[in-house]
Amino acid sequence: MTDAILELKGLSKYFGGIKANDDVNMSIERGELHCLIGPNGAGKSTIFRMIMGEYPPTKGEIIYEGKNITKLKMWQRAYRGISIKMQIPGVFGELSLYDNIRIALQKHVSQQEVEAEIQRLIHFVGIQDLGNPLVKNMSHGQQQWLEIAMALALRPKLLLLDEPAAGMGPEETEFTAQLVKKINAQGITVIFIDHDMNFVRRIAKRVTVLHCGKIFKEGPLEEIEADKDVIQIYLGE
Ligand code: ADP
Ligand code: MG
């Protein structure tokens, strides 16, 4: 018996004639740190949007903790422990750092606990020494870590990270890799998307390669990295 936290069964998403995802089958073990890679336009973000409930699938099912959640609303999935940091920025630049986290914490913790929880989260993601600036004045990397803190505010069981290290320099990328590992070490199942193998190599154990909306390969990192066909689709990008 496996202990899958998430199963995708024949999951497909068509936009008119475009098959963004086509018959995707995946099983993610509880506690895994799983990577989804693939060239631009492969359909990676679309899978996340279906798991979180933003896009209804054209076909197929999403099973989470043994229950079919395909028809549930976004907030119902969030309530059950699915949280996401999207590829496009999801912070409020005109608001302060703490207010951004306050919004994410809404209703999840009591009023008395909010300030303590803000401190816990900013320490966890390493942005505790900034004071409380307007978010638009924070660096790109700091904003990304804030967004991860906001995703963690929901106390997720399953965290989806869409290109968490995009646009970062080497030091910030390394910091993000360590942060993702630390999140996973807390028992949170993590699926992350990235196309930078230098980042993937630092953290992933099992990798799924997506190509043209379909699963192209799946296996341990070492096997995927050495795979001639995978190298080929990357070079052919
Ligand atoms: P990736 O994240 O792997 O780069 P996406 O999942 O964003 O790829 O996109 C996969 C394909 O689906 C692309 O061809 C993209 O243009 C298309 N697509 C994604 N979202 C939409 C949408 N809302 N409407 C139309 N086409 C979309
Ligand atoms: Mg994407």
Judged against a pLDDT cut of 70, whether residue 1 lies above it is answered with no
Ligand 1 pocket, 56 CB below 6 A?
A: no
Ligand whose nearest atom lies closest to the CA of 87: 2
Measured by CA distance, the residue closest to atom 11 of ligand 1 is 20
Ligand whose nearest atom lies closest to the CA of 209: 1
As a whole number of angstroms, the distance between CA 209 and CA 219 comes to 9
Closest atom of ligand 1 to 162 CA is 2
Ligand 1 pocket, 51 CB below 6 A?
A: no
Q: Which of 1-5, 130-134, 204-208 has the least mean pLDDT?
A: 1-5
pLDDT tens digit string along 78-103? 999 999 999 888 899 999 999 999 99
As a whole number of angstroms, the distance between CA 148 and CA 160 comes to 10
- C-alpha to C-alpha distances, 162 to 140, 180, 232, nearest whole angstrom: 15, 12, 23
Ligand 1 pocket, 46 CB below 6 A?
A: yes
Ligand 1 pocket, 15 CB below 6 A?
A: yes
Model confidence band, residue 124 (pLDDT cutoffs 50, 70, 90): very high
pLDDT given at position 209: 95
Q: Tokens 């020494």 belong to which residue?
A: 129
Closest atom of ligand 1 to 21 CA is 10
pLDDT tens digit string along 14-57? 999 999 999 999 999 999 999 999 999 999 999 999 999 999 99
Mean pLDDT of the chain: 93
Ligand 1 pocket, 20 CB below 6 A?
A: yes
Query: What ipTM was reported for this prediction?
Result: 0.98
pLDDT given at position 236: 59
Rounded to an integer, the average pLDDT of 47-76 is 97
- Are the C-beta atoms of residues 35 and 192 closer than 8 Å to each other? yes
Can you say how many angstroms the Cα of residue 150 is from the centroid of all Cα atoms in its chain?
Answer: 12
Model confidence band, residue 235 (pLDDT cutoffs 50, 70, 90): low
